[in-house]
Amino acid sequence: MTSAPRQSSFAPRAPITGEEYAKFCEFFYRKTGIMFSEKKVYFVERRLNERIEKSGCEDFRAYFSILRFQASAEEWQTLVNDMTVNETYFLREDYQFDVLVGGILPEIARRRRPGDKISIWSSPCSTGEEAYSIAIHLLEHWAKADDYAIEIFGSDIDSRVLASAREGIYGERSLQRLPNGLRTKYFKKLGFDKFQIRQELRESIDFSVANIVESVDMARFRSVDVIFCRNMLIYFDDASRRQAVEMLYECMSPGGFICLGHSESMSRISSLFRPRKFGDTIVYQKAPTDD
């Protein structure tokens, strides 16, 4: 990329002070449970300055007032979107797949007989990387994968990304975390920077359109054992998030698990699930006996 670097057109009239930054972080933490690390200071400040400028505010104080009091919370939502990076690629946050195979699936399997169904849902699945990653990871690393009928499905509100997911064609960048052996095993090279998931795997995964707050859509998902709902709930407004969480709860089997994104926590979202620890990772579980 050789375009000229962005100038300080996004610098507000007065630079954000240390206290203002701290005030912002405290607010963000209160509402999302997310604490920005030291490494992210530059990133956060830059995004914050951008939003202050774009919202037409004279200074941080005026901007913060909008964040705090705007009834629609529209600016808050925009800010949250901007603060979280949304790239998707294979084996993103794969420590959770280790938890799936090393902790969650063995626990579920103990309650099932050989041949029984185990279902895993990736929502939102976007262009499919997560669903395929789950499949690859468990075929490679779960010794008992052959003993159960494992259904993996992906859903998204956007039908275009689903079409991409079904097609299963990805570029080099998306595959960069995949070890070479897995690349040749599960992908067919179509050309320069173009790899397609092998047909057998593509056909094993069900991709469908679904809106997570629509009960008609959600009624199609029942008795799901594991949900990967990473980096989605944070983008909902409060009312929709309540709906979404209750829908997800409804879709789950008793004792089912839900995994959120790395920096997400149910602590600001819902108390319906119980935190469970596997290694250094927290996932959430629906009560084993439905209340």
Partner 1 sequence: MTEGLTAMKRILVVEDGSTMRLFYRDVLEKAGFHVEEAANGVEGLERAMLQSFDMAIVDVNMPKMDGYEMVRHFRQEPELKSLPVITISTEADEKDAARAYAAGANFYIVKPANPDLLARVARLLTGAPT
Partner 2 sequence: MLVKRTDRTEAAVSAAEGDIDRLLRDLDAPDGALRRKAAHDLGANQLAIRPLCGRLATETAPSVRAAILTSLIRLKSPKVVAALVEFLRSEDAALRNAVIEALQDMPEDVLPALDRLLNDDDSDLRIFAVNIMNELRHPEVRSRLERVIARDTHVNVCMAAVDGIAEIGDETLIGPLQMLEKRFPNTPFVAFAAAAAIQRIRGAS
Binding site for partner 1 (CB under 8 A): 26, 29-30, 33, 265-268, 270-271, 274-275, 277, 280, 282
Tokens representing residue 234 in the block: 């944070």
177 binds, among partner 1, partner 2, none (CB under 5 to 8 A by kind): none
Show contacts with partner 2 in window 224-263 (CB under 8 A): 238-239, 242-243, 246, 249-250
Please work out the total of residues on this chain that contact partner 2, with binding judged by CB under 8 A. Answer: 51
Binding mask 60-89 for partner 2 (x = CB under 8 A): xx--x---xxxx-x----------------
Comparing CB distances to partner 1, the nearer of 35 and 149 is 35
Q: Name which of 144 and 268 has its Cβ closer to partner 1.
A: 268
Distance, CA of 32 to CA of 43 (rounded, Å) = 18
- Work out how close the CB of 43 gets to partner 2 at its nearest, in angstroms, rounded to a whole number: 20
- Going through the chain in order, the beta strands assigned E by DSSP cover 117-122, 149-156, 169-170, 187-191, 194-197, 205-209, 224-228, 252-259, 274-278, 281-285
Asked if residue 113 binds partner 2 (CB under 8 A), the reply is no
CA atoms within a 13 Å half-sphere pointing along the CA-CB vector of 172: 3
Name the minimum Å distance from CB 237 to partner 2: 10
Going residue by residue from 173 to 212, which x/- string records binding to partner 2, judged by CB under 8 A? Answer: ----------------------------x-xxxx-x----
CA distance 18 to 20: 5
Instruction: Identify what 69 binds: partner 1, partner 2, none; CB under 5 to 8 Å per kind.
Output: partner 2
b/e per residue 82-101 (b: at least 16 CB within 10 A): ebbeeebbbbbbeebbebbb
Answer whether 236's CB lies under 8 Å from 205's CB. Answer: no
Closest approach of partner 1 to the CB of residue 277, in Å: 4
Three-class DSSP labels, 134-165: HHHHHHHHCCCHHHCEEEEEEEECCHHHHHHH
Alpha-carbon radius of gyration of the chain: 21
Minimum distance of partner 1 from residue 268's CB (angstroms): 8
259 closest CA partner among 230, 233, 231? 230
Find the part of the chain contacting partner 2 (CB under 8 A) among 22-30, 41-49, 99-107, 157-165: 22-30
Answer yes or no: are the C-beta atoms of 253 and 285 closer than 8 Å. Answer: no
Contact partner, 277, from partner 1, partner 2, none, Cβ < 5-8 Å per class: partner 1
Q: Which positions touch partner 2 (CB under 8 A)?
A: 17-20, 22-23, 26-27, 60-61, 64, 68-71, 73, 117, 119, 135, 139, 145-146, 148-153, 201, 203-206, 208, 215-216, 219-220, 222, 238-239, 242-243, 246, 249-250, 270-272, 290-291
